[in-house]
Structure formats: C-alpha cells, structure tokens
Amino acid sequence: MQPDTSAAPSASKRAVVRVLDGERLFPPPIWMMRQAGRYLPEYRATRAEAGGFLDLCYTPKFAVEVTLQPIRRYGFDAAILFSDILVVPHALGQEVWFAEGEGPRLTPVDLDRLDALDPTRLLDRLAPVLDAVAGIRAALPPETTLLGFCGAPWTVATYMIAGRGTPDQGPARKAALLQPEGLRRLMDMLVDASVRYLVAQLQAGADAVQIFDTWAGALDDEGFEAYAVDPVARIVAGVRAAVPGARIIGFPKGASARLPDYVRRTQVTAAGIDWQTPVAFVRDHVQPLVPVQGNLDPLRLIAGGDALDRGVDHVLNGLGGGPLIFNLGHGITPDASPDAVARMVDRVRGATEGRARP
C-alpha cells in the first residue's frame, strides 16, 4: 500500500483535521463513536451476510461497507475504521471470539508465559484491516476525515487477562499488584504492537488515529500513571517517530480531573471527553491545552426530543468557543434511534454563532 498521510493537501482542508490542528469551527464538525453499528438496520443486514463478527472485521469489502453506511446516511465529517480493539491480541495469537449477546471472549493470557504470544506476524495478520483502511479512504468523499484507532494497552490488557469484560477490571488491577513484572512485559508488547498498527493505518490512508482507553477510570493514581499515561505517551512518541506530526486523539474514559495532566504527559493532539466530565472543567482546564472531542451522554439518543436538544446545546454552549469536535461521551448504544441521530446532527449543524439553536 502506498502512503496517503494527513500531510496531503486535501487532508488539510477536512473539517475534523482542521480542528485537530487547532482551528475553531462553528458549527463544529461531528462524528460519533461506534457510528457504524447495531443501531442501523443496514449494519445488521451486512453483519448477517458476513457471518461472525471477526469475519466482518477481517473481510475488507464488509468492513468498508459498514464504515461507509453512517456517512451515506448522515454525512458525518469523519468516518472511523470499522474494526475492534481486540484484533491486536488476536493478531498476537490469543484466541478471541464473540458470543452473540454476551460480548468478547478470550482465552485468558498467562502473564508468566507470554512467549506463547507472537508479535512477529502482527501486521501480516492485520493486513485485511489495513486493506480496509485503504479501501475506505478511496471510497470516502474527499472532505471526510478518516480515523484509524487502537485500544490503549491498559484496556486491551484488561480483556487479555480476564478473558472478558468485568465490572471493575479486578483481574487486571490485581495482576498490577501481584504480578507487576508480567503485566509490565505485556504492556511493553502492546505498546510496540500499537505503534506498528497505528503507523500502518496512517500509511494506508488514515488522517488521524484515536487511542481508546475505556477502562482508564478504573485505576488509582499510581496505576493511572503507570498504565494509562506512560504507555500512551510511548505510543504517541513511537508513532510520531515514524509519521512526524501524526494526529492522535487520546480518549481516557473516566480520567476526569486527571485529564490535563494526561494531555501534557502523553502529548496527544486532542482529548476525547466522556459524558461524566463537567463541561466547565473541560472548557477551563483541557480546551486551553488541546482541541476536545465529546461529550454528549449516549443515552440522550434513546430519550430523544427535548432531552436530546438540551444535551446538544449544553455541549455547544460550553465548548463551542474553542476547538471542538462534537461527539458522544462514549459509543452509541444498540437501542438508540436512527431518527434521534439525525435530529442530533441537524441540531449541531443548525447552531448559530455564539449560542446553540433556541
């Protein structure tokens, strides 16, 4: 694949890229985490055609199709590669499968026997995903930003250790206290794999990438520094050593008051904000440092109506004075209404300078 990096002239004109570069646009550009997903009937039809979830991720024609579906329907300003954070442990050789209605399952990794994982074939195993990136870029409207992504090492490790999602990430937190050397080796492996994977996505045509740390908020202060901040800082530095100026969004869900330090220490380009973080705090302490992305509560897309409008306006009024990418504070849920998504998009795009639509 030939590189098509964000340095290309066409990329510099894309609205999301412009905001990532520090420009304030109003109304702000908009996209939505998990925008290609089960809330859309066209996604469900494609998923049924593909068969298993991993087949959907690893078959470029299907991954391209579901990535494009919300762009066709809503005209979002960014498309995000359709894949999953667990393709990395799968590519390292860990058994991964998806139980319908139950979420991901993995054979738990043994921190004392990490030589069972094989990082040497990582990019070969992820080649179909990288082919999808190139295919998406070729099919997208020229004004639409393409985002790649990976899971942050801590969040990926929580699944690798527990074999599934858990309410408080207790198995991984316990490993951090009882098997710190084994966890450190696993984190080192995941940092290296993430750097290689994100660089390959940027070279395949992504304009920017996002690092999802869904479970960062489960960590105490010591753990946050060791497992949320340090690994992401190393990924950012590693990616930029290969792709100078790479645009990288960090999304440490649950970081809250630790966000400003996270931004300074990791040197991410922009910060994703969850819906629990007060807008006034973000405006005063995070947005002066970097552009921000977020942070509508996804449940407002289920409530719809006035509750949705108030939520949209609160974000626009609170953060619209600086560089903002409008988004949810986490991924859209499967039971959200496609009509409510259309209402949200219209509300954002119909906002007037200095205040949201009345």
- Domain map (residue ranges) of the chain: 26-276
Task: Spell out the alpha helix ranges (H) of the chain.
Answer: 9-12, 15-20, 41-50, 53-58, 60-74, 87-91, 122-125, 127-139, 153-162, 170-178, 180-204, 221-223, 230-242, 259-266, 279-281, 300-303, 305-319, 338-349
> Which of 21, 44, 84, 265 does the annotation list as catalytic?
84
Catalytic residue status for 185: no
Location of structure tokens 């039971």: 335
Catalytic residue status for 47: yes
Residues pairing with 327 in the sheet:
295
Catalytic residue status for 84: yes
Residues 6+ apart with CB under 8 A from 230: 265
Q: Between helices 180-204 and 170-178, what is the axis angle to 10°?
A: 120
> Which of 21, 24, 38, 184 does the annotation list as catalytic?
38
pLDDT value of position 355 = 56
Rounded to an integer, what distance in angstroms lies between the CA atom of residue 183 and that of residue 186?
5
Residue 104: helix, strand or coil by DSSP?
A: strand
Q: Half-sphere exposure of 108 toward its Cβ, with a 13 Å CA cutoff?
A: 13
Cα dihedral 265, 261, 148, 187, rounded to 10, equals 60
Location of structure tokens 């002066």: 288
> Which of 47, 247, 258, 347 does the annotation list as catalytic?
47
> Which of 159, 197, 227, 262 does the annotation list as catalytic?
159
26-276 architecture in CATH?
A: Alpha-Beta Barrel (3.20)
Amino acid letter at 160? M
| pTM strictly above 0.85 | yes
pLDDT value of position 102 = 78
pLDDT value of position 356 = 54
- DSSP assignment of 271-294, as one string? EE--TTS-HHHIIIIITTTS-EEE
Residues of the chain with pLDDT under 70: 1-10, 354-358
Residues pairing with 208 in the sheet:
147
Catalytic residue status for 300: no
Residue 326: helix, strand or coil by DSSP?
A: strand
> Which of 18, 34, 173, 300 does the annotation list as catalytic?
34
- Residue 206 · residue 129 · CB < 8 Å: no
